[in-house]
Structure 1
Amino acid sequence: MELSMQYGLAFPYVDAHTLVELAQEAENVGWDGVFYWDGGGTDPWVALTAVALHTDRVRLGTMVTPLPRQQPWKVASEASTLDHLSQGRVILPVGLGVVELERMGIVKDYKIRAQMLDEGLDIVDRWWNGETFSYDGVYYQINEVNGMPPLQRPRIPIWVHGSDKQSQLRRAARWDGVKLSGTADQIQQARQTIMAQRTTAAPLDIITEGQTSGDDPEQAAATVRPYAQAGVTWWIEAIWDTPQSTGGIEGMRTRIQQGPPRME
């Protein structure tokens, strides 16, 4: 069986100029995606727009957007606008957000946030249809607005955060990708559960995040191969801590230039 996987980079907070520079270097050495922290500070959609205008191939997205903390129609509009500017390269990863890190006084009940996430995703999806619609939810109400379809059809791929919770696995079955943590065997089991609940024949991306050694290509390949065999389609190289642990921006640049962990 031929194994294939795409490789992205999860960027921590860096200023927009640095993000553009590093994203260009990532594209030049073969990384497939650039995903930027959505946690305050620099606006991720503005920063990713700058990246879109200075790259040609890499996919672009956040990692991840805490949708219950934001206005879903605004996120839908921003992502759609960026999709047109980037010629169809946007991915929208979303989640509940980390309550323990919240500083803005929003709802901190995970059950309520989960309900807000599901309503928000419905709004985003309907916004992208481009038709006039109204929405009467528990947490969001909209009265006859016109959405804006993205360039990608039927929609920008939506990735949701997953775990062993049945509610999160059911949510994942509705959308286009799921980000999972754990061993390759654990991810394979979660994937099987999701696929059993899926009602569409559209492909489902399975995403996981980890770290590989850029100094040892064979070891890097050995790290990612079991995940590819388990059905993972995207490996996101986590360089969240790199600025603090391995030389700051130059440490990030070194790992980027070493390239993705190819299995050839």
Structure 2
Amino acid sequence: MKFALNIPNFDIYSDVHLLTELVHEAEEAGWDGFFLWDHIGGDWQMAIADPWIALAAMAMVTKRITLGPLVTPLPRRRPWKVAREAVTLDHLSHGRLVLGVGIGSDQGREFSCFGEEADDRLHGDMLDEGLEVLTRLWSGERFSYEGKHYQLSNACFLPTPIQQPRIPIWLAGTWPNKKPFRRAARWDGICPIGRDHELTPQDFRDMLAYIELHRSTNTPFDVLTVGQTTGTDRTKDRATVQPFAEAGVTWWQEGFDRSYSLEQVRQRIHLGPPEL
């Protein structure tokens, strides 16, 4: 199991200078990953940093730690623009990017506030097409594409990513809704949340059994969870994390909401990841 920090880049954490300090400290403390959120705003009255620009700055001050947005709502973006940003960041970080994507949500009116349709089914279709376009662009081969939502004519896209066969793509999904997990089975990982409860180790066993039914390859597949550990009580932290590792979770994210002060976040970073 690997251990990451998941910090919403809002309010005080919208300061990219601060994020670069924190990611450098996280790498020094032994954390494996550092993930940001991808939101526009809408009804939300708070400062928000663009994760892609922040991640580029964070890549420049680190050498080892995995970076990525969790998650970018691909239907809100043009897939060729995300493809370009992702490849550039993959090269900038020397192959340390993971790309988390999902359909997005209109919570906070992040679609409707800006005149975009807030339709999950529509966004699911756009996500599927967008992922096909994005990964074909990454191949470096010239191609055309005629979809319902996206059309490309004789497109050429270079350079290809450092990571091959592609930059890892992790899908978001709400368990036990099944469709996002069938979609995730075609890619490289899942970032799940529970519909009406916090996910348990048994939820992950059930989820992975379902995903396995729809996997067509034996390539690595990452499974993420989020929670909190103390950093001071190693026995307690091991008891918190170990059941998820045994259920097949590959990434533990130390999660922080807006109630955590900078002092608390920084202290937890410096204490380092849990030990199994």
TM (norm. structure 1) is: 0.93
Counterparts of 2:70 and 2:191 in 1: how far apart (Å)? Answer: 10
Q: Secondary structure at the match of 1:74?
A: helix
Structure 2 residue 64 is the aligned partner of structure 1 residue 26: no
Counterpart for residue 224 of structure 2: 207
How big is the shift at 1:147?
2.0
Pairwise CA RMSD: 1.2
Counterparts of 1:105 and 1:249 in 2: how far apart (Å)? Answer: 35
Counterparts of 1:106 and 1:131 in 2: how far apart (Å)? Answer: 32
Q: Secondary structure at the match of 1:180?
A: strand
Counterparts of 1:256 and 1:105 in 2: how far apart (Å)? Answer: 39
Q: How many matched pairs?
A: 255
Question: Which ranges of structure 2 fall in alignment gaps of 5 or more residues?
Answer: 41-47, 194-198
Matches within 5 A, 1:84-95: 84-95=91-102
Query: Contact (CA 8 Å) 2:105, 2:118: kept in 1 or not?
Result: no
Aligned partner (choices 60, 65, 83) of residue 90 of structure 2 = 83
Counterparts of 1:118 and 1:151 in 2: how far apart (Å)? Answer: 23
Aligned partner (choices 239, 259, 264) of residue 272 of structure 2 = 259
Counterparts of 2:114 and 2:77 in 1: how far apart (Å)? Answer: 11
Counterparts of 1:224 and 1:21 in 2: how far apart (Å)? Answer: 27
Counterparts of 1:92 and 1:170 in 2: how far apart (Å)? Answer: 18
Counterparts of 1:104 and 1:217 in 2: how far apart (Å)? Answer: 47
How big is the shift at 1:28?
0.4
- Deviation string 1:161-192 (CA, Å, 9 cap, x unpaired) is 12222211210110000112311101111101
Counterpart for residue 192 of structure 2: 180
Query: Contact (CA 8 Å) 2:129, 2:147: kept in 1 or not?
Result: yes
Q: Secondary structure at the match of 1:121?
A: helix
Counterparts of 2:100 and 2:30 in 1: how far apart (Å)? Answer: 21
Counterparts of 1:208 and 1:197 in 2: how far apart (Å)? Answer: 21
Counterpart for residue 257 of structure 2: 240
Counterparts of 2:189 and 2:70 in 1: how far apart (Å)? Answer: 13
Counterpart for residue 54 of structure 1: 61
Counterparts of 1:133 and 1:253 in 2: how far apart (Å)? Answer: 47
Counterpart for residue 3 of structure 2: 7
Question: Which ranges of structure 1 fall in alignment gaps of 5 or more residues?
Answer: none
Structure 2 residue 133 is the aligned partner of structure 1 residue 129: no
Q: Secondary structure at the match of 1:80?
A: helix
Q: Which residue identity is paired with 1:160?
A: L
Counterparts of 2:107 and 2:25 in 1: how far apart (Å)? Answer: 34
How big is the shift at 1:142?
1.4
Q: Secondary structure at the match of 2:248?
A: coil
Q: Percent identity?
A: 48
Aligned partner (choices 200, 215, 229) of residue 198 of structure 1 = 215
- Deviation string 1:181-235 (CA, Å, 9 cap, x unpaired) is 3111011111011011100111111111112222322211111100000000011
Q: Secondary structure at the match of 2:176?
A: coil
Query: Contact (CA 8 Å) 2:37, 2:70: kept in 1 or not?
Result: yes
Q: Secondary structure at the match of 1:251?
A: helix
